[in-house]
Amino acid sequence: MSMADLATASDGLETKQRTLRVAIVGAGFMGQVHAEAARRAGASVVAAVASRPDRAAAAASAIGAANGYPDLTALLDDAEIDVLHVCTPNASHAPVAAAALAAGAHVICEKPLATGATEAAALEAAAADRVATVPFVYRFHPMVRELRARLAAGEAGVVSSVTGSYLQDWLSRPSDDDWRVDAALGGPSRAFADIGSHWCDLFEFVTGDRIARLSARTAVVHERTRGDRGLTEDVASVHFLTAAGMVGTLVVSQVAAGRKNRLQLEISGADASFGFDQEDPERLWVGRRDGGQTLLRDPATLHASAARYVRLPAGHAQGYQDCFDAFVADTYRAVRGEAPDGLPTFTDGLRAVRITDTVLASATSDGTWTEVPT
């Protein structure tokens, strides 16, 4: 073994043995979720970067980091980190992630990975020798893994269609505002890039199928005036065909009064159909011609791939933070040299950006059927 090989092996062993050092860029809600998941996974949150240089100390306090830095350059120059979590507004995801990768860090980047496919593809290429993941965390619900295992086993028979939606109401009033409505910060798509991407990732993950062609329509319900780069959609409706010939429909809305975070997916097969609702994640509905049943999250009855993500006994509810914790923990396992199944990488992030770009292209062409790039 050469000296270089010995050094690489030594570095790998050292990483497996010591506590990972992580930094968070962005100290808002998502930054706090990431920081909590990092601590639960046994990492040390050593640094934070705020949205403004004068808020470095406040950012560190908000997420419980050891130190606050005025900007990313100062952090990368000074702090020794293993993983950088990118929790900034969408338009800055690509440059922040690229800088971290160039500095040798592993990266967890919030979605969308970038606001366009060219930038996202460049990040995927730059991450070739790093662990680089995107938090499509709904993959980590145990009942989602159960659904995936049952479909893989052929329990549904011939799968012909899928219907679903992702509905929220946090922008349902004309006075509701957020940086995401500003295309200069959030990118050209809001509702679909923000939540439609989650639905598409979940559908492709559980079925192993891919959206091949789609026809989309978008709508602006409230003409908010924030920013000067045009309006982003409140609603999107998508019809699609998959590579395997499945027919699908999806409605995405952030102006659906009364719906807080309802990702719903129903897959129809000739032998069995399955329904999952993210707001009721402890259950998976299974329908058959002679009757239906509701499966409960119970480690004693779940497939092994699903039971792995059960953190609490049956009857003790698990939820969103548990999913996020599992995603971050699996990312850190990958940093330590393991290969967790179903970890969403920058390749999946690029896939989501390409679907979003295709939705926008179709919508601006009056719903023309458009191929999704592979």
| Tokens standing for residue 348 | 């999946």
Contact between 321 and 37 under an 8 Å Cβ cutoff? The reply is: yes
Burial class of 231 by CB neighbour count within 10 A (0 to 12, 13 to 18, 19+) = middle
Considering the domain boundaries, does residue 340 fall inside one?
no
The verdict on 363 and 234 lying in the same domain is: yes
Q: Which amino acid is at 39?
A: R
Give the Cβ contact number of residue 374 at 10 Å: 8
What residues are paired with 158 via a beta bridge? none
Give yes or no for a cis peptide into 299 (omega within 30° of 0).
no
The verdict on 45 and 76 lying in the same domain is: yes
Considering the domain boundaries, does residue 335 fall inside one?
no
Name the domain boundary from 115, 137, 159: 137
CA atoms of 122 and 98, how far apart (whole Å): 9
Considering the domain boundaries, does residue 321 fall inside one?
no
Predicted confidence at residue 249, as pLDDT, reads 98
| Tokens standing for residue 120 | 């996202």
At 112-170, the pLDDT tens digits run: 999 999 999 999 999 999 999 999 999 999 999 999 999 999 999 999 999 999 999 99
The verdict on 158 and 81 lying in the same domain is: no
Considering the domain boundaries, does residue 117 fall inside one?
yes
Q: Which residues contact 28 (CB under 8 A, 6 or more apart)?
A: 87
Considering the domain boundaries, does residue 324 fall inside one?
no
β-pair type (159-167, 370-371): unpaired
Q: How many domains does the chain have?
A: 2
Give yes or no for a cis peptide into 112 (omega within 30° of 0).
yes
The verdict on 74 and 130 lying in the same domain is: yes
The verdict on 186 and 278 lying in the same domain is: yes
CA atoms of 74 and 97, how far apart (whole Å): 15
Name the domain boundary from 96, 114, 137: 137
The verdict on 170 and 127 lying in the same domain is: no
Domain residues for the domain of 80 are 3-137
Residue 68 belongs to a domain with what CATH number?
3.40.50.720
Residue 355 belongs to a domain with what CATH number?
3.30.360.10
Closest CA to 262 of 253, 271, 270: 253
pLDDT in tens, the chain (374 residues): 443 453 444 455 566 778 999 999 999 999 999 999 999 999 999 999 987 888 999 999 999 999 999 999 999 999 999 999 999 999 999 999 999 999 999 999 999 999 999 999 999 999 999 999 999 999 999 999 999 999 999 999 999 999 999 999 999 999 998 889 999 999 999 999 999 999 999 999 999 999 999 999 999 999 886 655 578 999 999 999 999 999 999 999 999 999 999 999 999 999 999 999 999 999 999 999 999 999 999 999 999 999 999 999 999 999 999 999 999 999 999 999 999 999 999 999 999 999 999 999 999 999 999 999 99
| Tokens standing for residue 231 | 């309006």
The verdict on 109 and 158 lying in the same domain is: no
The verdict on 127 and 200 lying in the same domain is: no
What pTM does this model have? 0.93
Considering the domain boundaries, does residue 149 fall inside one?
yes
Considering the domain boundaries, does residue 337 fall inside one?
no
The verdict on 166 and 112 lying in the same domain is: no
